[in-house]
Amino acid sequence: MTRAAATSAIRRGMSALLGGALVAMSVSLAPANARDAEDRFNVFVTRDMSQSRPPEGAGHPLMTPEAILTATANFEQCIASLWPQAAARRVSRRTFEMATRGLEPELRIMVLLDSQPEFSKPIWEYLDILVSDDRIATGKEAVAQNRATFEAVEKAYGVDRYIIAAIWGIESNYGKEIGERPVVRSTATLACIGRRQNYFREEFLSTLEILERGDVPLEHLKGSWAGAFGPTQFMPTSFKRYAVDFDGDGRRNVVDSIPDVIASTANNLKLDGWQSGATWGYEVTLPGNFDFLHVDRSIRKTLKEWEALGVRRVGGKPFPRPGDQGFLLLPAGARGPAFVMVNNFRVLMKYNPAEAYALAIGYLADRIRGGEPLVQPWPRDELPISRTERIELQQRLAALGHDVGEADGILGARTRSAIRNFQVRAGLVPDGFANVKLLERLRRGH
């Protein structure tokens, strides 16, 4: 086959793979039972994506079929060139060869690396999936079956057992969906092919260190397309920072040892700043005359100060720690539930920097604990806004002089601030929520 023919074949193959991946994403929003990472890509922002930063687009020079073809042809040499760095980390030649002998790249990962899924499902549908009755019941069983371990971990790290159980449930459905891709192959592929090579070389070398230490056997080191592994999905570099040997067998095995999984996850949260004895947030109600310009993650007040503004915990219950600081979050705008999020919510967002993910973790933890469902209803009549529409919304805001940063479809702090500013000028409730009605208003130019 000529080089031109091979390049054309890769281009056709990647197009076919991309179509298949998008089909998998669109149908997998039913209760999850698939095992590969792309089939679990439905969870709004997977931890893989949070570790890998937002996609940069298929136009990147290292993501063209020609570049991928060249890198694939050079894959063996690329891996061999990493031996000196591995040796500097005290990886033995035996371990290096065991892990890399006959290793071939998986080009399907290139599609997952550079694809941008249409996360158009509203947050209440994600919570319906992730905080389901089955997941709550299984979480309660997991806590009961591992009660002694959870108690010991709580004593050692001060992290709430129900939060750890919720992470376990959402990341892998309690270990049922940890992924089947060899971590060595995934990280090696990304270390030598595509636009994130520098980042993934560190993940690949860290994988070799895990094997050298004997923490996780090679045949058990399987996970997602980006290399996250185990029931709570550690990336190799995160494993190095946070994993602990809690069962005392001399290995930090976050795949096969439940005590190590639970304790390592707790250690991760503790080192990220988890406050023992505190919750993640509170569902609240707002007064009728509330100033929605206070709904901003940068505006933090003590719970006592929020109360002075008329913010009340649902059910009339008092805030147990009135001196704690928090910010207001309205994930579905003024028509949906409202929350005051305290420090531990921000810690959950370090585990995965998505508000929806952190909310799902906190909510599932409370339900496993025996808590009631949210009191305030979601605005289920709202039409979802697609990524294409989110980009258009940002572009229209920018055209009116509002600062949205890059028009990338990611509704971050600047975009939400721009939305609030537009809503104020238009005489709308300034809740910063993007929906189809807001986009239609922008299309009319006022």
Q: Could you read off the pLDDT of 133-149 as tens digits, one per residue?
A: 999 999 999 999 999 99
| Confidence category of residue 47, pLDDT binned at 50, 70, 90 | very low
| Confidence category of residue 116, pLDDT binned at 50, 70, 90 | low
The total domain count for the chain is 3
| Confidence category of residue 30, pLDDT binned at 50, 70, 90 | very low
Average pLDDT over residues 58-78: 89
Question: pLDDT digit string (tens) for 153-183?
Answer: 999 999 999 999 999 999 999 999 999 999 9
Q: Is residue 135 part of a domain?
A: no
Q: Is residue 19 part of a domain?
A: yes
Question: Is pLDDT larger for residue 163 or for residue 65?
Answer: 163
| Confidence category of residue 24, pLDDT binned at 50, 70, 90 | very low
Q: Is the pLDDT assigned to residue 366 strictly greater than 70?
A: yes
- Same domain for 435 and 305, yes or no, is no
Among 369, 397, 421, residue at a domain's last position:
369
| Confidence category of residue 387, pLDDT binned at 50, 70, 90 | confident
Q: Is residue 216 part of a domain?
A: yes
- Same domain for 27 and 101, yes or no, is yes
- Same domain for 345 and 213, yes or no, is no
| Confidence category of residue 27, pLDDT binned at 50, 70, 90 | very low
Q: What's the full length of the chain, in residues?
A: 446
Tokens 């707002």, located at residue: 286
Among 369, 403, 418, residue at a domain's last position:
369
Tokens of 138: 């299984």
Q: At what angle do helices 65-73 and 3-27 cross, to 10 degrees?
A: 110
Question: pLDDT digit string (tens) for 196-247?
Answer: 999 999 999 999 999 999 999 999 999 999 999 999 999 999 999 999 999 9
Average pLDDT over residues 254-278: 97
- Same domain for 361 and 394, yes or no, is no
| Confidence category of residue 338, pLDDT binned at 50, 70, 90 | very high
- Same domain for 294 and 391, yes or no, is no
Q: How far is CA 378 from CA 131, 195, 311, in A?
A: 15, 39, 19
Contacts 24+ apart (CB under 8 A), 414-423: 416/296, 417/296, 418/394, 420/292, 420/293, 420/295, 420/296, 422/397
Q: Is residue 154 part of a domain?
A: no
Q: Is the pLDDT assigned to residue 267 strictly greater than 50?
A: yes
- Same domain for 205 and 335, yes or no, is no
Q: Are 332 and 318 in contact (CB under 8 A)?
A: no
- Same domain for 9 and 52, yes or no, is yes
Q: Is residue 72 part of a domain?
A: yes
Least confident of 128-137, 198-207, 405-414: 405-414
**What share of the chain in percent tops pLDDT 70?**
85
Average pLDDT over residues 371-376: 96
According to the model, what pLDDT value does residue 14 have?
52
Least confident of 119-123, 170-174, 353-357, 426-430: 119-123
Q: Are 403 and 395 in contact (CB under 8 A)?
A: no
Q: 128: how many CB neighbours lie within 10 A of its CB?
A: 15
According to the model, what pLDDT value does residue 39 have?
34
Among 171, 194, 220, residue at a domain's last position:
220
- Same domain for 36 and 110, yes or no, is yes
- Same domain for 75 and 213, yes or no, is yes
Q: Is residue 159 part of a domain?
A: no
According to the model, what pLDDT value does residue 115 have?
63
Q: Are 96 and 3 in contact (CB under 8 A)?
A: no
pTM given for the model: 0.85
| Confidence category of residue 111, pLDDT binned at 50, 70, 90 | confident
Q: What's the CATH number where 344 sits?
A: 1.10.530.10
Q: 377: how many CB neighbours lie within 10 A of its CB?
A: 11
Q: Are 419 and 400 in contact (CB under 8 A)?
A: no
- Same domain for 61 and 204, yes or no, is yes
Average pLDDT over residues 46-70: 63
Q: Is residue 14 part of a domain?
A: yes
Q: Is residue 268 part of a domain?
A: no
| Confidence category of residue 45, pLDDT binned at 50, 70, 90 | very low
Out of 43-52, 107-116, 241-250, the most confident range is: 241-250
- Same domain for 213 and 75, yes or no, is yes
Q: Are 368 and 162 in contact (CB under 8 A)?
A: yes
According to the model, what pLDDT value does residue 384 have?
81
Structural domain including 190 reads 3-118+180-220
According to the model, what pLDDT value does residue 410 have?
85
Q: Are 260 and 297 in contact (CB under 8 A)?
A: no
Average pLDDT over residues 300-314: 97
Question: Is pLDDT larger for residue 111 or for residue 273?
Answer: 273
- Same domain for 337 and 201, yes or no, is no
According to the model, what pLDDT value does residue 121 have?
79
Using alpha carbons, select from 246, 197, 190 the residue that is nearest to residue 223: 190
